Amino acid sequence: MISSRMGKRMTRNRMKRNSSRPGPGNVRQATRRRHAMPPRGISAAVLALLVCGCQTPTVPGLTVFTNVNVLPMDSARPAEGDLVLPDRTVVVADGVIVAAGPADEVEVPRGATVIDGSGRYLMPGLAEMHAHVPPGDNPPREEVEDILFLYIANGITTIRGMLGSAYQIPLAEEIGRGEVLGPNFHVGAPSINGGSAPTPADAERLIRAHVEAGYDLQKIHPGVSRESWDHMVAVARSVGLTWGGHVPADVGLVHAMETGMSTVDHLDGYVQAVASDDVQAQVSAGPISLGGLARGFDETRLEEVVRLTIEHDVYVVPTMYLWRNLYGAPDADAMLAQPEMRYVSPQTREGWRRRAQGGGRGPANEVALYLELRDRILKALSDAGAGILMGTDSPQLFNVPGFALHRELQAMSQAGMSNYEILKSGTATVGEYVASHLGQDGNFGTVARGQRADLVLLGSNPLDELANLFDRVGVMVRGRWVPRAEIDAGLAALAAKHAG
């Protein structure tokens, strides 16, 4: 029996494109066509209000932001002065933006809940594209919902779960129906790895089972053989399931990209792929130090790998902050003194402390060279126009769900990406990825008519300082408004629960 999610998926073209990712002009044309269509999911009553302006009590699902500065995050706006549109009115009905324009051109429909945006900034909600929701068959529901709330509290309205469990598929549907407060949830299947798929037949069995179950994508972990990989690719293409995650060593970055890998997470394989022939030979022969690997950097190889990334339409989820913690030697006391640590359990905090006691992956100077090369690779990918997606791999070492994304943005900034490029990696670019690689509704990630109403209202401009993302007035997910007071109350309750 094919699940409803699988049935819907098989009606769409979910095959990953082998051609280059469309340029900005093509993306803009597609966006205009979507916006020219009638708004989706708007009730007849709300449409009547919009037309006649009849006097009526407050209408559920009808919200207006007035006199607000809008960050549309539309890649069609190259001029710096167009990045913020002042004095706008944005109308939301039944979870969709139905009007967005100058305040003197957009009427406020009667019956709407009005949110004053004077001096404030409205932008699309952010996305966490390498998230983890508790695994297992039946984790405590309260624990699951706590993590979902942490994402919403931090302005994250979309997540891509990268280690799925069967319960997450109906959970994603509950979230979509508004029965559970949480971000839009794209569910990755349990991983294909050296243990789960030692043979091509095992890889095929898992792909077919995961499509039947209704997962949105296939997660890859290390250890997959080249033979199993190639067979997995053929089967996944035939059934329309995309895949992404780690790059197995036997497969290698270049072959993974050439055979259709959707996302490369953690910059897996990039450091080795940009090394000289001599260094790559050393890696094949046995272990090599991080410094030796980094010192083997070849500029020509970097240019070629960046070109292949774009040519094969591969998106990258860099997780820069986590890698600094994993490879460096962070001070556990200092990390656990960070304010967000109050929102995770004492057991989790203690586990992170023990893990950090192992120290770094090498001498500090060698680790520094390695991390600097990762920064250089990310900057080169971003400068060339490759698709960069926000992600943290939370909850991982010192990564609190939601809060870790803001630390990731700072790490991306230190790598040389501009604030606009960083914000785009969690907004408009995510919508493009979801549409082109998952074959699902990508009408989100910008503030424009016809887009899903996933929004964050801020008291200050995040283009000036990324830290201004913490200056939240409220978050809207699928048209549901979550004000700052509700967010603060939820966080206080979490802190109280985990005190000690």
Report pLDDT for 357.
85
Query: Which amino acid does the sequence have at 171?
Result: L
Residue 219 pLDDT grade (very low, low, confident, very high; cuts 50, 70, 90): very high
Q: How far is CA 22 from CA 58, 310, 433, in A?
A: 43, 10, 11
What is the tens place of the pLDDT at every residue in 428-461?
999 999 999 999 999 999 999 999 999 999 999 9
Report pLDDT for 393.
95
Domain boundaries, the chain: 126-442
Report pLDDT for 150.
98
Residue 35 pLDDT grade (very low, low, confident, very high; cuts 50, 70, 90): very low
What does the alpha-carbon distance between residue 45 and residue 28 come to, in Å, rounded to a whole number? 32
Report pLDDT for 428.
97
Residue 9 pLDDT grade (very low, low, confident, very high; cuts 50, 70, 90): very low
Report pLDDT for 77.
52
Residue 19 pLDDT grade (very low, low, confident, very high; cuts 50, 70, 90): very low
pLDDT for 82 beyond 90: no
Give me the mean pLDDT over the 89-112 stretch. Answer: 96
pLDDT for 93 beyond 70: yes
Residue 246 pLDDT grade (very low, low, confident, very high; cuts 50, 70, 90): very high
Report pLDDT for 290.
87
Report pLDDT for 310.
98
| C-alpha dihedral, 405 to 217 to 95 to 126, nearest 10° | 10
Residue 79 pLDDT grade (very low, low, confident, very high; cuts 50, 70, 90): low
Neighbours of 178 (CB within 10 A): 13
Report pLDDT for 7.
40
Residue 25 pLDDT grade (very low, low, confident, very high; cuts 50, 70, 90): very low
Report pLDDT for 361.
82
Q: Is 0.85 surpassed by the pTM of this model? A: yes
Instruction: Report the share of the chain in percent with pLDDT over 90.
Output: 78
Give me the mean pLDDT over the 358-368 stretch. Answer: 85
Mean pLDDT score across all residues of the chain: 88
What phi and psi values does residue 154 have, to the nearest 5 degrees?
Answer: -105, 15
Report pLDDT for 283.
79
Instruction: Report the share of the chain in percent with pLDDT over 70.
Output: 87
* 23 vs 329, higher pLDDT: 329
The hierarchical CATH code for the domain 126-442 is 3.20.20.140
What is the tens place of the pLDDT at every residue in 259-278?
999 999 999 999 999 998 88
Q: How far is CA 170 from CA 141, 175, 186, 187, in A?
A: 13, 9, 11, 10
Query: Which amino acid does the sequence have at 93?
Result: A
Report pLDDT for 416.
96
| Length reported for the chain | 500
Give me the mean pLDDT over the 200-207 stretch. Answer: 98
Q: Which residues pair with 474 in a beta bridge?
A: 457, 483
What does the alpha-carbon distance between residue 375 and residue 327 come to, in Å, rounded to a whole number? 14
Residue with tokens 């997540």: 159
Is residue 416 a contact partner of residue 379, using CB atoms and an 8 Å limit? yes
pLDDT for 24 beyond 60: no
Q: Which residues pair with 116 in a beta bridge?
A: 66
Give me the mean pLDDT over the 409-432 stretch. Answer: 96
Burial class from Cβ neighbours inside 10 Å (0-12, 13-18, 19+) for residue 77 reads: middle
Residue with tokens 């939370």: 394
Residue 80 pLDDT grade (very low, low, confident, very high; cuts 50, 70, 90): low
What does the alpha-carbon distance between residue 388 and residue 316 come to, in Å, rounded to a whole number? 5
Strands 96-102 and 85-93: antiparallel
Report pLDDT for 37.
36
Q: Closest Cα partner for 274 from 308, 321, 251, 325?
A: 308
* Residue 33 CB contacts under 8 Å (≥ 6 apart), including other chains: none
**DSSP symbol at 102:** E
